[in-house]
């Protein structure tokens, strides 16, 4: 009980620091001006016998100090501010929480089959397939959306006449209908010159009709 201590006449006053080396925490009592070490208490577990709280206050503790030669002593320490006492508790709790986490990681490293497995690596001979057909299709569709070229004057080019295999040069007159030639769709699709008397019809075959054989 802290009420049994001579709180108005402490045997020593200074600053308290909590440090750590590996898994062991050290409570160091130092001179508040020079930093000279007055005493220290190694803490290997918390809560434990190295640090105990009193029953009648949250600002006072009993710590076990050691001189490094095997000699130990229990002394009572207290904080003027309650917030400092809270920070003292939290510092020790955080350190030993980290110690437990490190121990758990080391245990899992020694026995990996006991922990959860999440293997995202490729197995030997394993391959992956990327489907880029849709990408090519979209690129081709985008290319087909270009407007068709137009002729001079803003007029679109017309397709060839039905049944025709080749276009007729504008400078060459359209052939006239020979006597006895049936009228076809290809002839109807083009304007025909006025019919001339059959007697005056030109000899289309020319000299080919007079050639021997």
Structure confidence by residue, pLDDT tens digits, 33-91 = 998 999 999 998 888 889 999 999 899 999 999 988 889 999 999 998 899 999 999 99
**Over pLDDT 90: what percentage of the chain?**
29
pLDDT tens-digit series, residues 157-203? 566 666 655 554 455 555 555 555 555 555 445 555 555 555 555 56
Distance CA 1, CA 174 (A): 128
Query: Whole-angstrom Cα distance, residue 107 to residue 111?
Result: 6
The whole-angstrom separation of Cα 168 and Cα 187 is: 12
Statement: residue 212 has pLDDT above 80: no
d(CA 17, CA 160): 99
Output the pTM of the full model. Answer: 0.49
Of 1.10.3720.10, 3.20.20.70, 2.30.29.30, 2.60.40.1840, which CATH number belongs to 2-110? 2.30.29.30
Tokens representing residue 185 in the block: 């769709």
Extract the runs of DSSP E, i.e. beta strands, from the chain: 15-21, 24-30, 37-43, 51-53, 60-66, 72-78
Whole-angstrom CA distances from 92 to 10, 54, 105 are 24, 17, 20
Confidence class of residue 115 from pLDDT cuts 50, 70 and 90?
low
Q: Which of 18, 11, 19, 13 is nearest to 31 (CA)?
A: 13
Give, in order, the Cα–Cα distances in Å from 42 to each of 17, 37, 51, 74, 135.
12, 14, 9, 12, 67
Distance CA 39, CA 61 (A): 15
Per-residue model confidence (pLDDT) at position 62: 94
For the chain, domain boundaries:
2-110
- Is the preceding omega at residue 47 within 30 degrees of 0, hence cis? yes
Residue 106: pLDDT over 80: yes
């Amino acid at each position: 009980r802290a009420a049994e201590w001579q709180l108005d006449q402490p045997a020593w006053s200074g600053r308290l620091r909590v440090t750590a080396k590996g898994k062991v925490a050290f409570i160091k009592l130092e001179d508040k001006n020079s930093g000279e070490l007055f005493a220290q208490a190694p803490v290997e577990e918390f809560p434990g016998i190295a640090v105990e709280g009193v029953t009648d206050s949250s600002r006072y503790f009993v710590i076990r100090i050691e001189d490094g030669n095997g000699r130990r002593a229990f002394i009572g320490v207290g904080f003027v501010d309650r917030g400092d006492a809270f920070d003292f508790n939290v510092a020790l709790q955080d350190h030993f929480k980290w110690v437990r986490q490190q121990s758990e990681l080391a245990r899992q490293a020694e026995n990996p089959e006991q922990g959860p497995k999440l293997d995202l690596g490729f197995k030997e001979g394993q391959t992956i397939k990327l489907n880029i057909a849709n990408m090519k299709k979209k690129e081709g569709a985008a290319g087909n959306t270009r407007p068709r070229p137009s002729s001079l004057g803003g007029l679109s080019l017309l397709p060839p006449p039905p049944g025709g295999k080749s276009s007729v040069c504008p400078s060459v007159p359209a052939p006239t209908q020979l006597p006895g030639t049936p009228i076809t769709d290809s002839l109807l699709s083009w304007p025909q010159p006025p019919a001339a008397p059959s007697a005056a019809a030109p000899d289309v075959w020319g000299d080919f009709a007079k050639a021997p054989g």
